[in-house]
Amino acid sequence: MIGMVEDHERGLWFDLLDPIKGKPTGMRVKLAGPDSATQARARVLLVDELAEFADLDGRVSGEARETARLRNLARCVIAWDVAEGGAALPFTFANVLRLLRAGVWAQSQIDALAADRRLWAKGSAE
């Protein structure tokens, strides 16, 4: 089991696919697996952020929940190969959030891949 956690922490590379044609877009992300320390920390931060966003009655707005959800998802991305205008886009938390906000299709793919333990059981997504 410890080896599995280490494998999840190393992450796997995934091609982001065109949402209509299903072909690679040229963007690749490396995701930490669902049983990684990276995702465990992301979940803790998600709970902390939701608590910070809560009003005096403990309610969290939909907008704040969405912000926290996207930030949680962005923390699962541990590297990437993304270009904009022909130049490599630096891997930063802000840029990952920008990608996630730009396309629900990217969010959906990253969310599904980051949660799928079967991909790590196989040892490779490629």
The tens place of each residue's pLDDT in the chain, 126 residues long, gives 556 678 899 999 999 999 999 999 999 999 999 999 999 999 999 999 999 999 999 999 999 999 999 999 999 999 999 999 999 999 999 999 999 999 899 999 999 999 999 988 865 544
**Bridge partner list, 29:** 14, 80
Contact 11, 78 (CB under 8 A): yes
Q: Which pLDDT score, from 0 to 100, does residue 74 have? A: 97
Please state the pTM of the whole predicted model: 0.88
pLDDT reported for residue 125: 47
